[in-house]
C-alpha cells in the first residue's frame, strides 16, 4: 500500500529565525564582549603560572648542579685524606641542601671524615643524624655498622650491640659482617646464650660462608655445637676435590 508523504512548507517567520549555529556564534560573541576583562586576566594568570613553573624547573636544575659540584669536591678532599676540609665541605652540603638527597647523604660522609680523622664523638653524631632517615639500604647498613664500631671504640658495648643489630636486619653485602659483629659483641658482654644463638643463626642462614669455620670455633669456645649439618658442610668444603 502506498504511503502518503506530508510536505512541510517553511513560512516566512521560520525563514527569519536564526539556525542553532548562528545562535551559538551570537551567544559566544555576546559572552566574550561582556567578560573580556575576565578572560584577559585568566589568560594572564595562566601565562604567569607557566613562566613561574619553567623558572622553578631551571632553578632546581641549577641547584642540583651546584650541589653535585660541591659533593664531588668534598669526596675528592676525603679521598686525598684532607679530612678537616672534607668535613667542612660535607657540613655545608648537609646544611644548605638538607631537602635534597645529596645533602642527606653528605651526613654519612661527614661521619666518615670525622671517623677517619679520629673525632669519634662528631662521627657518631653525624651518623646518628643520618641513619634513621637513610633512603638507601646499603648506606643505612654501613652507617649502622660504622656506629657499632665507634661505640665499641668508645667502650659502649650495649649501644654497639644495638647498632649491629640494626645493620644485621638490612639485606645486603654488609649483613653477614654485622651478624658476626653482633654475636662477638654479645659474647664480650658475657651474654653467652645470646652469642650462641646469634652464631647458630648465622650458620643456618649462611651455611657456605667463608667465615663458617671461624664461627664453629667460636661456638666451641662457648661450649656449644653448630646446628645440624653445619659441621658436615664445613668438612665437605675442606676436602680437596677428587682428581
Structural domain boundaries in the chain:
45-134, 136-243
Position 194 pLDDT exceeds 80: yes
Q: What is the mean pLDDT of residues 98-102?
A: 84
Fold category of 45-134 in CATH: 1.25.40
pLDDT of residue 70: 85
Question: Measured between alpha carbons, how far is 204 from 207 in angstroms, rounded to an integer?
Answer: 6
Axis crossing angle, helix 175-188 with helix 157-168, rounded to the nearest 10? 150
Position 2 pLDDT exceeds 60: no
Position 143 pLDDT exceeds 80: yes
Position 76 pLDDT exceeds 60: yes
Q: Do domains 45-134 and 136-243 have the same CATH topology?
A: yes
Cβ atoms 233, 212 nearer than 8 A? yes
CATH of domain 136-243: 1.25.40.10
Residue with cell 651478624: 179
- The CA distances from residue 63 to 57, 85, 145, 177, 202, in Å, are 10, 22, 32, 38, 45
pLDDT in tens, 211-238: 988 999 999 999 988 887 655 455 545 5
Question: Measured between alpha carbons, how far is 64 from 61 in angstroms, rounded to an integer?
Answer: 5
pLDDT of residue 19: 52
For the stretch 22-42, what's the b/e string if a residue is b when 16 or more beta carbons lie within 10 angstroms of its beta carbon?
eeeeeeeeeeeeeeeeeeeee
Question: Measured between alpha carbons, how far is 66 from 92 in angstroms, rounded to an integer?
Answer: 12
pTM recorded for the entire structure: 0.69
Position 107 pLDDT exceeds 90: yes
Position 89 pLDDT exceeds 60: yes
pLDDT of residue 179: 94
Closest listed residue to residue 175, CA positions, set 214, 153, 154, 148: 148
pLDDT of residue 233: 55
Amino acid at each position: 500500500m502506498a504511503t502518503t508523504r506530508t510536505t512541510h512548507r517553511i513560512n516566512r517567520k521560520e525563514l527569519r529565525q536564526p539556525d542553532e549555529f548562528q545562535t551559538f556564534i551570537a551567544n559566544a560573541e555576546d559572552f566574550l564582549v561582556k567578560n573580556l576583562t575576565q578572560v584577559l586576566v585568566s589568560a594572564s594568570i595562566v601565562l604567569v603560572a607557566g613562566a613561574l613553573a619553567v623558572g622553578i624547573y631551571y632553578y632546581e636544575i641549577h641547584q642540583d648542579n651546584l650541589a653535585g659540584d660541591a659533593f664531588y669536591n668534598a669526596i675528592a678532599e676525603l679521598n686525598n685524606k684532607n679530612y678537616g676540609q672534607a668535613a667542612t665541605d660535607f657540613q655545608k652540603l648537609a646544611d644548605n641542601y638538607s631537602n635534597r638527597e645529596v645533602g642527606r647523604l653528605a651526613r654519612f660522609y661527614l661521619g666518615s671524615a670525622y671517623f677517619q680523622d679520629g673525632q669519634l664523638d662528631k662521627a657518631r653524631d653525624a651518623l646518628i643524624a643520618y641513619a634513621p632517615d637513610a633512603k638507601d639500604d646499603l648506606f643505612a647498613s654501613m652507617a649502622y655498622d660504622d656506629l657499632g664500631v665507634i661505640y665499641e671504640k668508645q667502650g659502649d658495648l650495649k649501644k654497639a650491640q644495638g647498632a649491629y643489630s640494626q645493620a644485621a636486619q638490612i639485606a645486603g653485602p654488609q649483613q653477614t659482617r654485622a651478624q658476626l659483629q653482633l654475636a662477638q659483641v654479645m659474647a664480650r658482654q658475657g651474654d653467652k646464650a645470646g652469642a650462641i644463638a646469634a652464631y647458630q643463626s648465622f650458620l643456618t642462614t649462611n651455611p657456605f660462608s667463608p667465615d663458617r669455620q671461624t664461627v664453629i670455633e667460636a661456638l666451641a669456645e662457648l661450649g656449644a655445637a653448630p646446628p645440624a649439618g653445619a659441621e658436615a658442610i664445613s668438612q665437605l668444603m675442606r676436602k680437596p676435590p677428587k682428581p
